[in-house]
Structure 1
Amino acid sequence: MSEHTITELLSPAFLSRMQNMLGDEYESFLKSYEAPRTYGLRVNTAKISCDEFERIVPFPVTPIPWISNGYFYPEDVRPSFCPLYQAGLFYLQEPSAMTPASCLPVTPGENVLDLCAAPGGKATALGAMLNGSGLLVANDISASRARALLRNIELFGITNAFVTNETPAHLGKHFPEFFHKILLDAPCSGEGMFRKEEALARDWTPEKSHELSSLQKELILQAADMLRPGGLLLYSTCTFAPEEDEEVVSHLLENRPDMELLELPEYEGFTSGVPEWGNGDPSLIRSVHLFPHKMQGEGHFLALFRKEGRTDLIGTMSSAKPNAETRKWLELFLKEIGLKTLGGQPFDWNRVETRKDKVYYLPPIGGDFRGLTFLRNGLYLGDLKKNRFEPSQPFALSLRKGDAESVISLPVSDQRLTRYLKGETLNIEPEEAAHAKGWHLLCVEGYPIGFGKLVGQTLKNKYPAGWRV
């Protein structure tokens, strides 16, 4: 941790508690703070396979043993400047933080909630698993954090999401027993991230865990009430504090007898929960701690619950209808780019809705969602201008390799991609473009990055200013 020693940064009260918790392992735990932190990325398997990613990625990566689509990368690499990142092919995420979403088995067609979702690491993982089918509700109570969440949902090309800025209590009134799967990565004291963020270590106090524990107990009950019978709830924190981990799990089991704690997958380095750190319930052993002296990552805690009863996948389809003007200009645009599918699925006109000249593609689910604060309800396709349709950046990123015919695909090493991401016009050779003029998707290795308009051999840049590198 920079030039400081661990004892200079960490509170004696924290160290004393960890020593009591870990016993013989305490010295190894302390030593882990001197080790360099690990850097990770998670592949967006809704857009690209891991084999294909390994083939085209221009920097070294090493698989993370316990995450099927996770990779370590070296500290001196800057992956966010790579065109593959701007195409939404991977997300930068600390390796341990990838674990909760990977342990929640999501199936396409389900209704899934990420209750405290910003900045979007876990929500994008869940959305990729849904693969355009079902509904993802990604919520955050902070408006500024929810905006960062929306950007990451759009970057990943997720077409079936509601991004909401709500209190969990208000969300619960709209979605009683609605979700098949819920992830609650609760606000916590962040003890597991001290090596990554020194400010967390400096600001730590014993009182913080007590205050947060009350909030977490409230949140986990609210989450359980939004889970339909037979559904799964994954609770996680990035802290070691028993008050925020086993105690919260105990609180749910005591107050919702229809919730049962399940076994999590076993991996080398995973440490079982300790019943004595909670209310003594023997089933607490099924929860899992990730400690930095046992894993190549920071600290985390996970617990997976199932609600009694049976679940099903019957939902109401959305039935928005585009007005004639929207359909006319959007149809012309889709024909111009040669759209074959959207996110690998047939384009469904029943999901198109126009609001004040903005065109949206709604998630494939109906319902009364009035009264909810949305940052985005569905995929923003673009704008109706005078006698034309202007596509959005989220629309470009929702398209998969092979979804459209009018493409200009450049290799990942081509410097024109960097110039495009900075907003510059590009020179395109005739053999590189699908057509001599008009709208094209600019792609890296076949994967869409954004739109441009070809005039002669010049590609006019349509990459929005707010997205530029």
Structure 2
Amino acid sequence: MIQLPAAFSAKMKRILQGEYEDYLACFDDERLYGLRVNEGKISVEEFLEICPFELRKIPWIHNGFFYDGESVSPAKHPYYHAGLYYLQEPSAMTPASRLPIEAGDKVLDLCAAPGGKATELGAKLKRTGMLVANDISNSRAKGLLKNIEVFGIGNVLVLSEEPGHLIEFFPHFFDKILIDAPCSGEGMFRKDPKMIKAWSEESPEFFAGLQRGILAQALAMLKPEGMLLYSTCTFDERENEQMIEELLIAHPSLSLKNITPNYEGFTNGFVTLTKTEMPEIAKSVRIFPHKMAGEGHFLALLEKKEESRPLSYEEATYQGKLPVEAKEFLDLLGISFDKSRLSLQKERLFYMPEGVPRLKGLRFLRSGLLLGECKKNRFEPSQALAMYLKKEEYPFVLDLSATDERVLRYLKGETIAAPELSEKGYYLVCVDGYPLGWGKLVNRMLKNKYLPGWRMSC
């Protein structure tokens, strides 16, 4: 029997009233495991045709599925390393799915690690616009960068900064912002019982202070007519309804939008939990684990309406002589790069997102798509470029079946035999048509160029 803190139980009885016993009963249910298809690489229909394990549809996420985490290990399959899907708790898929991304949008994920929401936002941009993914923790931001690169997202800046420091670089800059805020985590008690021990009665008030500051900083970076989606994985009204109520009172230019598409399991935000009984709060959404097949969440979608202000940044342009080896390699590709957006930083060649501001003074892990390194008399393409490309965008390909034993050997970093290849040079290694990385052919043997830090250990 689960042991919940007395203060937490009393709060949940007040919030849920007659549904409290149903909430308690959900702790006896098994943990849920979710998989979200990367539509930047493959359609849902195409993925279902090749998926090697049994899935059940998550009804409120169009590209989301349940899987049996006790019997299958999707993270060990080559398709995971090809970036065809992300493993994520089902309710946690909701915020990014409900932020209406359009082609060309400049999008900020302000608290982005480990990348579950940022990878979906990047996939929805479909190589257009710009994704800025930030996390204040440098160690967590490194994992974020890997997930973004595995997903093949190139129009990206990955930063590790205090949100307040970003304002001078991105004032009134973003069309869409997602804040999956640090919170007291009450909605995750069933998934991770260790969070119960970490909880205290003071936790919600502490996190509300953090959230208040993050929201104020994010609003300074949101364009007029822009939209901000705020989410938490907690139940406390101080972090949810009252946080949004406070924001709407302080900023008359903001309005709450309905979260669409609606789902029958969603619960409207509780007007009765606000201090002023603000009716607009009902447009926010609560997710309760006894009403849906997922953990606890809160979402609110805000739109900003005010007069435009001039932006204080200058668009960067990247001009100069491109090393001939890099030019020859890029000319092989079935896609063209705008030369004004190429940036050679020492030996490393990047393709910058369109309209990126000058970044001097920011702590970032990645600025744009790393295309490769220009070394003496040669160009070495990057792992990030391999994941960005589609099979048909590079002329030299080794496409292996997922059942070919060479796939796992490649993912472990081994040299593999390639008797079917003849022309020496770089090959894009694929699994069932989806890129994994590079190999360099010498005497019918493919020297492994898979990124060492990504290699499978067993």
User: Same fold judged by TM-score > 0.5?
Assistant: yes
Partners of 1:413 and 1:311 in 2: CA distance: 56
Deviation above 4 Å: which 4+ runs of structure 1? 309-312, 314-318
Q: Report 1:374-413 matches (<5 A).
A: 374-413=364-403
Partners of 1:324 and 1:267 in 2: CA distance: 52
In structure 2, the partner of 1:145 is: 140
| 2:315–2:358 CA contact under 8 A, matched in 1 | no
In structure 1, the partner of 2:411 is: 421
| 2:170–2:357 CA contact under 8 A, matched in 1 | no
* 1:276 aligned onto 2:266: no
In structure 1, the partner of 2:297 is: 300
Q: Report 1:233-312 matches (<5 A).
A: 233-265=228-260, 266-279=262-275, 280-309=277-306
1:33 is paired with a residue whose SS is: helix
String of CA shifts for 1:264-318, please: whole Å, max 9, x gaps.
1210110010112122111011110000111111110000001114889x99875
String of CA shifts for 1:43-99, please: whole Å, max 9, x gaps.
111111111111112111222111111111111211111111111111111110000
Change (3 A) 1:250 1:351: same
String of CA shifts for 1:425-463, please: whole Å, max 9, x gaps.
112232xx4x53221000011111000012233111111
In structure 1, the partner of 2:163 is: 168
| 1:393–1:450 CA contact under 8 A, matched in 2 | yes
Partners of 1:458 and 1:334 in 2: CA distance: 24
| 2:225–2:306 CA contact under 8 A, matched in 1 | yes
In structure 2, the partner of 1:229 is: 224
* 1:68 aligned onto 2:58: no
Question: What RMSD, in angstroms, separates the aligned Cα atoms of the two structures?
Answer: 1.7
* 1:445 aligned onto 2:424: no
Q: What letter corresponds to residue 332 of structure 1 in structure 2?
A: E
Partners of 1:366 and 1:464 in 2: CA distance: 27
In structure 1, the partner of 2:53 is: 59
| 1:323–1:354 CA contact under 8 A, matched in 2 | no
| 1:177–1:227 CA contact under 8 A, matched in 2 | yes
2:62 is paired with a residue whose SS is: coil
| 1:192–1:238 CA contact under 8 A, matched in 2 | yes
1:23 is paired with a residue whose SS is: helix
**What number of residue pairs does the alignment pair up?**
451
Aligned partner of 1:363 among 353, 368, 381: 353
Per the normalisation by structure 2, the TM-score is 0.95
Q: What letter corresponds to residue 328 of structure 2 in structure 1?
A: L
In structure 2, the partner of 1:184 is: 179
Q: Which structure 2 residue ranges, 5 or more long, are not aligned?
A: none
Per the normalisation by structure 1, the TM-score is 0.93
Q: Which structure 1 residue ranges, 5 or more long, are not aligned?
A: none
2:231 is paired with a residue whose SS is: strand
1:371 is paired with a residue whose SS is: coil
* 1:21 aligned onto 2:19: no
Aligned partner of 2:44 among 21, 44, 50: 50
Partners of 1:277 and 1:101 in 2: CA distance: 25
In structure 1, the partner of 2:188 is: 193
Partners of 1:50 and 1:316 in 2: CA distance: 39
String of CA shifts for 1:119-157, please: whole Å, max 9, x gaps.
111111111111111111111111111111111111111
Q: Percent identity?
A: 50
Q: What letter corresponds to residue 321 of structure 1 in structure 2?
A: Q
Change (3 A) 1:310 1:96: farther
Partners of 2:307 and 2:55 in 1: CA distance: 41
